Amino acid sequence: MRLFRSLFDGFALWRRAKSHSTLIEALRNRLLFAGVCAVLIFSGISYRLADVMVLSQFIDCRSKNWTSPGIIQKADIVDRNGELLATSITTASCYADPSVVIDIDEAAAKLNEIPGMPGIDRIKQKLSNRKKHFVWLARHITPQLRTQIMDLGIPGVHMLKDYKRIYIHKNLFSHVIGCSDIDGEGIYGLERKFSKQLFIKDATDKRKLVTTLDLRMQAIVHEELERAVKKFGAAGGNAMLMTTNGELIAIVSLPDFNPNNLKSTTSDAMFNRNTLGVFEQGSILKILNVAIAIDSGAASLGTVFDATEPIKIGKYLINDFRGKKRPLTLAEAFVFSSNIASAKIAQAFGASVQKAYMKKFGMLDKPQIEIPEVGRPLIPAHWTEATTMSVAYGYGLAVSPLQLLATVTSIINGGVRIVPTVINRRHPRANDQIRLVSSETSAIVRELMRSAVCYGTAKKASIDGTSIFGKTGTAYKVSGRGYGSDSTRKRITTFIGGFPSDDPQYMLLVTLDDPKPSQETFGYVTAGWNVAPAAHDIFNRIVPILCESVGKASTPIKVLKYVKLEKR
Amino acid sequence: MNKAIVVSLFVLILVGICVSRVKYEVVFLRKSLEGINKEMEKCSDDIKIYSAEWSYLNTPQRLKALCGKYLKNLKPLENNQLISYEQFTQSHFQEDCNRTQEGHNKAFVAFLNGVAKAKDVLEER
């Protein structure tokens, strides 16, 4: 307003200027000022026009980045040596904006010629909803198909940069690494557990999920277990290799699945027997039984228990498989795996002590591990004397192999509780140092397990030059309300052991589900005849790689004093 | 007064030009940065694909198959092939070594004799 006023004032002055020269000077100045202002305003307008017409093109180019903000890349999963287990690779995905597509029939016909497209009817159906601005046409297509589709030049059909999760070793780590859906969202295993944490901003983000697994060991254990399952006609099997501080370096469960191709996967193949398979473990629980007896002071290695006659409790009969039919020391009861003597050992310390120890061992709670698919143990409703006696030799309490491995490792490794893990932590979890049994008990149990390998039921698991210790267990599978008849009974055979016995470093658990008798096993289906040789084959391949103290096989001198060995 | 206005205008125009130039520079630098970032991302994507391919080529199953094909005389190491240091220093092992050394010596003498014979033959010719 002031400017206009000054201009009008200027015209009034102009009229009077003929008679007044100073006013003319003032008027010139004002005109000059007004002219400069006009020039500046027009310069501003011109600049803005140039900005909108020229520079905004660059801004448009920026916004035309083909990465969708909704699609996020995931971090790699690697083993303890940095070997790649799962990664995300760049792919292209095709989508359409139906509101822009001009001729749906023509577009559908053209797209139908491209392999991997959903079919002409499906394409038409997807494109028919004009209100939508985004529909997927094909995910994770190859670069060749991407070029072919783009060459069609259909308006409204676009490409997006997408990421596909790739599991390089296919079936090898299926049950532990797990799998993701088409959008990269974890749906099973570690992928599910760390689904949020695995999302990364872009490929320049170098974060990785480092696991405790070892590709070499996993491959060996997988191969040998697969061979054993085939050889003994088992319905399945599982194996775990763990360091004595709780780091799992191999976890195999058979049958398994290919996480790259979930369409052909069955629910049975997706069942992780190591963590979800909750069943009665048979004679393996005798390890816990002798640990309780020795640690509670109820018995020592030389304490004698009469195993001459079977025990009858209610409708159940506790008997031995190829029993010695004589009084046995605690050491003999363990080495020869006597059910009768084990039940009597349990009677010596009683139900309350057994339950308290089982609670302390973590056998009555859900085990802790990063894998989300973990089974809860099946605990008897009433802990009667019969329960105490049956739990002593592995019936009446159903736990997962993971739980069993963690407990046995804790007992033999100095008696301090370990927590199994599959994540390699830079700062290990603060160990709360819960003592389960004394270090003396731990050493005795270890020696007993060494004796079982040297002279007992786990003989076939031994290898030359290394002190393998272990225990076998054969349990009947529950069928309906019982265990089935003699002809239909199915068994689960387990071996648990480790090496070297004087300073345990690694623990191995191998289980076969329903192995069949063969000529090679002389018709036997007990653990000593199938799962122990399988463990031997695994030991034979992993010990040269892992063990630092080869060629030092020790003899269980302490236990030998209480074991009467019979020549066959 | 006139001079002041002219100088002010000149400064104003100069500042305007500078600001405009800076803006253009920023726009072009941003564009170039985005280009570099895109290139980095592409390189990272390529590296990821190469890593995946390398890992795939090194899968234990494939390596085993290749070993079976090309290293027929080699087999995986077994536990009984390893001995402890104590065993290494044991006398019977030393004897084995001595025996091997004798064998080597004999073979070497035979080789020298062969060379001498060959030399004679050549000289005769």
Tell me: domain A73-211, CATH 3.90.1310.10, correct?
yes
Cβ <8 Å between B5 and A33: yes
Least Cα separation, residue B53 to chain A (angstroms): 8
Cis bond leading into A255, ω under 30°? yes
If you classify domain A218-255+273-560 with CATH, what class do you get?
A: alpha beta
Nearest to B40 among A204, A463, A552 (CB): A204
| CA pair distance A346, A57, nearest whole angstrom | 84
Q: Indicate the residue type of A387.
A: T
Task: Please give the Cα distance from A503 to A466 (Å, whole number).
Answer: 11
Q: What distance in Å separates the CA atoms of residue A243 and residue A212, rounded to the nearest whole number?
A: 10
Question: pLDDT by residue (tens digit) across A519-546?
Answer: 888 888 888 899 999 999 999 999 888 8
Could you tell me the residue ranges of all domains in chain A?
6-31, 73-211, 218-255+273-560
Chain A residues touching residue B55 (CB < 8 angstroms): 83-84, 87, 168
Contacts of B2 in chain A (CB under 8 A): 29
Q: What's the rounded Cα separation, in Å, for the pair A337 and A329? A: 11
- Tokens describing residue A392: 């002593």
CB-CB contact of A320 with A340 (8 Å): yes
Q: Which residues of A touch B83 (CB under 8 A)?
A: 465, 550-551
Max alpha carbon distance in chain A (Å)? 146
**A520, A233 contact by CB (below 8 A):** no
Can you give the pLDDT at residue B4? 87
Burial degree of A461 (CB within 10 A; 0-12, 13-18, 19+) = buried
Report the C-alpha gap between A538 and A77 in whole angstroms: 25
Q: What is the pLDDT of residue A401?
A: 95
Q: What is the dihedral of CA A256, A259, A265, A267, to 10 degrees?
A: 60
Regions of chain A with pLDDT less than 50: 3, 59-65, 67
Q: How many CA atoms lie within 13 A of A32 on its CB side?
A: 12
HSE (side-chain half, CA atoms, 13 Å) at B48 = 30
| Chain A positions in Cβ-Cβ contact with residue B87 (cut-off 8 Å) | 551
CA distance A338 to chain B (A): 32
Tokens of A384: 């009667």
Q: Which residue has the tokens 């895109």?
A: B38
Lowest mean pLDDT among A6-10, A429-433, B49-53, B95-99: A6-10
SS (H, E, C) A340-360: HHHHHHHHHHHHHHHHHHHHH
Query: For A547, how many CA atoms within 13 A lie in the half-sphere containing its CB?
Result: 34
Residues of chain A with Cβ-Cβ distance to B80 below 8 Å are 463-465
Identify which of A516, A538, A513 has the alpha carbon closest to the alpha carbon of residue A529.
Answer: A516
Residue A489's pLDDT is 80
Q: Phi first, then psi: what are they for A82, rounded to 5°?
A: 85, 10
CB burial of B12-26 (b: ≥16 within 10 Å; e: otherwise) equals: eeeeeeeeeeeeeee
The three-state secondary structure class of A144 is helix
Chain A closest CA to B94's CA: distance in Å?
17
**Residues 6 or more apart from A80 whose CB is under 8 A from it?**
A210, A211, A212, A213, A214, A247, A249, A424
Instruction: Output phi, psi for A206, to 5 deg.
Output: -95, 15
| Substitution target from A85, A201, A204, A536 for chain B, most B beta carbons within 10 A | A204
- Return the pLDDT at A18: 56
Q: What is the per-residue pLDDT across A492-521, written as a single tens digit (0 to 9) for each?
A: 999 999 998 888 999 999 999 999 988 888
Q: Which of B27, B38, B59 sits opposite A55 (nearest CB)?
A: B27
Q: Which of A83, A203, A466 has its CB closest to that of B48?
A: A203
H helices of A505-560, in order, are 527-546, 557-560
Instruction: Determine contact, residues A198/A74, Cβ cutoff 8 Å.
Output: yes
Q: What's the whole-number mean pLDDT along residues B79-101?
A: 68
CA nearest B86 in A: which residue? A551
